Structure 1
Amino acid sequence: MALVPYSGGGALPGLHSPAVTYHFAGRPLRIEQSWAQQGVAAVVWDAAVVLCAYLEAGSVDLRERTVIELGAGTGLLGIVAALLGARVTVTDRAAALALLESNVRANLPPELQPRAAVKELTWGKDLGGFPAGAFDLILGSDIVYLEDTFADLLRTLEHLCAAHTVVLLSCRIRYERDLSFLEMLRGRFSVQEVHYDPSKDVHVYKAQRAGRKDEI
């Protein structure tokens, strides 16, 4: 996730709180935030909360699955995936890693710490450090918002995906460019909307290599 300030109006007061608490997988999760220093990359957005709830509801079997989260920000989504049984690689750009690492370590019990690795990933640039097609599931929440990153994000998804890999992206459709990315994605993947939360106006999309409809 790019480290840029959010310029839109109507930012929720909770985004400026130093920490927020959620309950997932039977545990309270205290997530530190840092809006002033890192902007949108260091706060919890509704799209992450909705995708966490989607996973917790059992929509995807995460037990012993290999999962990578892109643009993890505060790490809430990756933490929940690990608590639900996945082996998770949680990624973001270098400047976000300290906060990300702190949240992951603070919210996973010692016996689950080995299930979560925090790694640097700049879309389209650091792909050599990640085995091609090695993941069962790719997660991303509110990572579709900067048009300049779309080509690199798509290139990253193509590198990480094998035929069996499922991509889950949660987002709020704010701008025409968000729809443009979905069209780009449909050019390379089979894409379907699998969930919509009307209370938060958040969509969850599932993508797989074109022609594949496997479930994980």
Structure 2
Amino acid sequence: MEKLITDPADEDKVPCWAEIWPAARGLSSWVWDNLEFKGAQLLELGAGLGLPGIVCGLKGARVTFSDFNPSALELVKKNAACNGLTDFAVFRGDWRDFNVTRQFQWVMGSDIFYDPKLNVHLINVISRAAAPGGNLLIAHPGRPATFAFIDELRYRRQLNEAHRAVIPVTIDDPYFPYYDIYVHHIIFDNV
């Protein structure tokens, strides 16, 4: 990932999409063990390399992978096709001005709710993108900003959390190999 950084001072040019983060692994594992989508429409926000969205596609979702970076979307298209997905779409969108024109039964984000400056925009994105009665999946490694985001979203929208799990994840990293990944399933009862 470090080789792809062109300007470390510009947050928009740091290629966070070029790595499979522990939260993506934990969310993928939880989805594989717990959900079936049966053709439901799903939007993955900040898809990066697309692991959680690909798993959802393998479990029956019709996935729209979204990301800010066009290189991420090119790679996610290749990753999805290499994993046998044929019925998927990609959407290039900036959360600060996210012009998605349809609603989805499922909206998902993996370790993307870490920056309060962007979380304000993500609340609006999710509110517009989630269909009435829809579902939100959030995964993160216990970030305080993510818990605050979830609390704010639940307060604003009077939402119910259907399920919360903690998934242990181990990665090949000599300094930080173990993570507890929190997975939240929130239902939009009253969108």
Q: TM-score range by the shorter chain?
A: 0.7 to 0.9
Task: Answer yes or no: is the 8 Å Cα contact 1:163–1:208 preserved in 2.
Answer: no
Partner of residue 26 from structure 2, selected from 50, 57, 60: 50
- Offset at residue 148 of structure 1 (A): 0.8
Residue 183 of structure 1: aligned partner: 151
Q: CA RMSD in A?
A: 2.0
Q: 1:189 and 1:70 mapped to 2: Cα distance?
A: 22
With 192-201 and 63-72 compared, the bigger mean Cα shift is at: 192-201
Residue 130 of structure 2: aligned partner: 161
Task: Answer yes or no: is the 8 Å Cα contact 2:35–2:59 preserved in 1.
Answer: no
Gaps of 5+ in 2: 5-13, 170-178
Deviation per residue, 1:97-116 (Å, 9 max, x gap):
223223223x232xx31x11
Residues 1:130 and 2:101 aligned together: yes
Q: Secondary structure at the match of 1:185?
A: helix
Task: Answer yes or no: is the 8 Å Cα contact 2:134–2:189 preserved in 1.
Answer: no
Residue 22 of structure 1: aligned partner: none
Q: Secondary structure at the match of 2:131?
A: coil
The TM-score with structure 2 as length reference comes to 0.80
Q: Which amino acid aligns with 1:86?
A: A
Q: 2:114 and 2:140 mapped to 1: Cα distance?
A: 9
Residue 140 of structure 1: aligned partner: 109
Gaps of 5+ in 1: 1-33
- Offset at residue 195 of structure 1 (A): 1.1
Q: Secondary structure at the match of 1:136?
A: strand
Task: Answer yes or no: is the 8 Å Cα contact 1:185–1:191 preserved in 2.
Answer: no
State how many pairs are aligned.
170
Residue 208 of structure 1: aligned partner: 187
Bigger RCO (CA 8 Å, 6+ sep): 2
Residue 76 of structure 1: aligned partner: 51
Residues 1:66 and 2:41 aligned together: yes
Residue 68 of structure 2: aligned partner: 93
Partner of residue 172 from structure 1, selected from 138, 141, 145: 141
Q: 2:28 and 2:2 mapped to 1: Cα distance?
A: 21
Task: Answer yes or no: is the 8 Å Cα contact 1:191–1:205 preserved in 2.
Answer: no
With 40-49 and 199-208 compared, the bigger mean Cα shift is at: 199-208
Q: Which amino acid aligns with 2:92?
A: E
Residue 173 of structure 2: aligned partner: none
Q: 1:198 and 1:94 mapped to 2: Cα distance?
A: 29
Q: Which amino acid aligns with 1:116?
A: F
Q: Which amino acid aligns with 2:18?
A: A
Q: Which amino acid aligns with 1:123?
A: W
Change (3 A) 1:198 1:53: closer
